[in-house]
Structure 1
Amino acid sequence: MTIAQKIQALQQTAKRPNILVIGDLMIDHYITGSASRLSPEAPVPIVNLKNESNTLGGAGNVVQNLVALGASVTVSGIIGDDMYGRRLIEILKAENVASDSVLVDAHRPTTVKTRVLAGGHQLLRIDRENSRALTPALQAELLDKLKPAILDADMVILSDYNKGVFSPELTQHIIGFASENNKKVIVDPKGLDYSKYRGAYMVKPNRKELGEAARVESVATFEDVQQAAKVIFKQTEAEYIVVTLSEEGMAILSELTYKLLPVKATSVFDVTGAGDTVVAAIAYFMAMGFQIDEACEAANHAAAIVIKEIGSATTTVEQIIKHMQDTNHG
């Protein structure tokens, strides 16, 4: 039976997997308009506003990918006591995502990335954020909220955007509690110290992140990637490291084996958000009962679909099956 056929069979018989996403939540705020003249006040374009929109960003990209795949999703993180935080919760509720584990910190703003676009070009980005670590009291409250959610989850994803949620102490408490209860943790990492992810089942950096965290001079070749991964295995004791290699596909590595999955895309327009798609798809298909190499194969096809789109995009199980069949890898 091919992977595509196995997916089709499981779609008919398996229940929807319940996946918990813990991460740095944010709003992507878009201001779009037209620009045909420069300001008399400064050498900058004047943008005539046409439209404004708010979408989920950060860990919310993983959430949206899971929703599109058909998972039942619970999300946890921190927002501010402001209109953007309230808007974020509204969007989650509209997507039927459980958000009871999202806490409000009145002393920080909701992270917002505002992009000003005109004529299809981004002119400016404004970041509204506070990336300091959570207070000990807020960490304890978040962990208490998370414990029942972890127990209910089929898979746990840590989506780290380096915005203050994942202190080493809290991250270790989360992974430790999940491991004690036989829950696999998949990490999309950030920063230079991966030791805080020690005990995770899988860590998924991209090539650049891997090289920076391993502090190696080059990750240009697959041999370089393997050497860098050895450093990360020592830091994390993870069972697997999956490295996304952009237009070259992805690599699945354990301490003893490796497998290179070539890219499935026929064209590449934008890799924005592809890492979030990969993490979501791996978690979804593993929660459905697939082995990690099968889940990564499906995720590789999912990434090939979304990088044909401009901006962060999502895909469906049906589209993944079709892509597998069309490329004769199903």
Structure 2
Amino acid sequence: MIDHYLHGKANRLSPEAPVPVVNLKSEYFTLGGAGNVVQNLVSLGAVVAVSGAIGDDIAGAQVISILNNEGVSTDGILTDKDRTTTVKTRILVDGHQLARLDKECTHNLDIVAENNLMEQLSRLIESADVVVLSDYNKGFLSSTLTRRIITVAKSFDKKVIIDPKGNNYTKYSNAFIIKPNRSELAVAAKLENIETTEALQVAANIILEQTEVENLIVTLSEEGMMIFGKQGATALPVKATEVYDVTGAGDTVLATVSYFVALGLNVVDACEIANHAAAIVIRQIGSATTTIDEIIIEIENEMHKLQAVN
């Protein structure tokens, strides 16, 4: 997925329609969707091989170029001539979003393409430490392909960590971690309101029973996160004292948890570190990444604050 930003100024309305005329000043392209997870992993120091589907178009070539510049292996990316690479174009005027234009294709891969992809993915999964699925409900991670990936990963004894989408979490069954946010969990559990801790537990129990996943991590924006699993429920309050923009914070949490689980940490400890990583990125505007050094400084600063209080 490509995020395309158009920045400009608007000082008058169009004579053709009651809309502002935007005088374009700058534009830039960056990875969106799962690409932000990839960039977070790279920033942490991970060696990443990525998979997905792109179209045979300019945006698809941009995706490959950006990933190659990041040092990411693109061998697992499928070019589908019947597909359009997803592009989200945002028009911003004086820092405020005026409109967003989406160009995308959300159909599932055909069986031939899926089989060809799985041959490549099997080799990549075998050599990986963990498998991370960032589902944006764009058709690539169909129920069939998702199940096949999890099955192959389990056969190689690899942990699968998933950022889910939609209301059918059964396709993520037997994963190691599913990481929805509060609203995504409510949709999947078919509950209208899960604002309280008790309601969160009810929703979590529904998904844990439905998927037999080992761990469910629910991100709660400025309230931190909750971890549900065999160890019971663990609450981790947010570490940030200033919140400017939560955009991309979920991607940072997914990447950080995945990275430290790959290093052998348990889920709670990995989430503690991810909480600090999220505190760093939500103090910045837009999707951001962080590094190990920045996380260490963040943790040390919190320890100094706690020592000063005590």
TM-score by length of 1: 0.91
How far residue 255 of structure 1 moved from its aligned partner, in angstroms, is 4.3
Q: Does 1:321 align with 2:296?
A: yes
Q: 1:4 matched to which residue of 2?
A: none
Q: SS at 1:327's partner residue? A: helix
How far residue 118 of structure 1 moved from its aligned partner, in angstroms, is 1.1
How far residue 180 of structure 1 moved from its aligned partner, in angstroms, is 1.1
How far residue 33 of structure 1 moved from its aligned partner, in angstroms, is 1.1
Q: 1:181 matched to which residue of 2?
A: 156
Task: Write the letter of the residue equivalent to 1:226.
Answer: Q
Q: 2:192 matched to which residue of 1?
A: 217
Say which of 22, 27, 48 aligns to 2:23.
Answer: 48
Q: 1:10 matched to which residue of 2?
A: none
Task: Write the letter of the residue equivalent to 1:267.
Answer: E
Say which of 27, 32, 38 aligns to 2:13.
Answer: 38
Q: 1:263 matched to which residue of 2?
A: 238
Q: Does 1:77 align with 2:52?
A: yes
Q: SS at 2:137's partner residue? A: coil
Which stretches in structure 2 are left out of the alignment for 5+ residues?
none
Q: SS at 1:268's partner residue? A: coil
Q: Structure 1 residues 256 and 283, CA, compared in 2 at 3 Å: closer, same or farther?
A: closer
Whole-angstrom distance in 2 between the partners of 1:100 and 1:168 = 23
Q: SS at 1:147's partner residue? A: helix
Whole-angstrom distance in 2 between the partners of 1:282 and 1:256 = 17
Greater relative CO (CA pairs within 8 A, separation 6+):
1
Q: 1:297 matched to which residue of 2?
A: 272
Whole-angstrom distance in 2 between the partners of 1:150 and 1:107 = 26
Q: Are the aligned partners of 1:272 and 1:307 in contact in 2 as well (CA < 8 Å)?
A: yes
Q: 1:138 matched to which residue of 2?
A: 113
Q: SS at 2:32's partner residue? A: strand
Query: 1:222-280: CA deviations, max 9, x gaps?
Result: 11111101111122110000000001000111045110000000111111111100000
Task: Write the letter of the residue equivalent to 1:262.
Answer: P
Whole-angstrom distance in 1 between the partners of 2:43 and 2:269 = 19
Q: Are the aligned partners of 1:230 and 1:255 in contact in 2 as well (CA < 8 Å)?
A: no
Say which of 250, 255, 267 aligns to 1:280.
Answer: 255
Whole-angstrom distance in 1 between the partners of 2:101 and 2:143 = 28
Q: Identity percentage over the alignment?
A: 56
Query: 1:90-145: CA deviations, max 9, x gaps?
Result: 00000000001100011110000000011000000000001111111111111111
Whole-angstrom distance in 2 between the partners of 1:200 and 1:158 = 10
Task: Write the letter of the residue equivalent to 1:266.
Answer: T
Query: 1:70-101: CA deviations, max 9, x gaps?
Result: 11011000000000000110000000000011
Query: 1:196-230: CA deviations, max 9, x gaps?
Result: 00110000000000011000121101111111011
Q: Are the aligned partners of 1:233 and 1:255 in contact in 2 as well (CA < 8 Å)?
A: no
Whole-angstrom distance in 1 between the partners of 2:136 and 2:116 = 21
Whole-angstrom distance in 1 between the partners of 2:231 and 2:288 = 34
Which stretches in structure 1 are left out of the alignment for 5+ residues?
1-25
How many matched pairs?
305
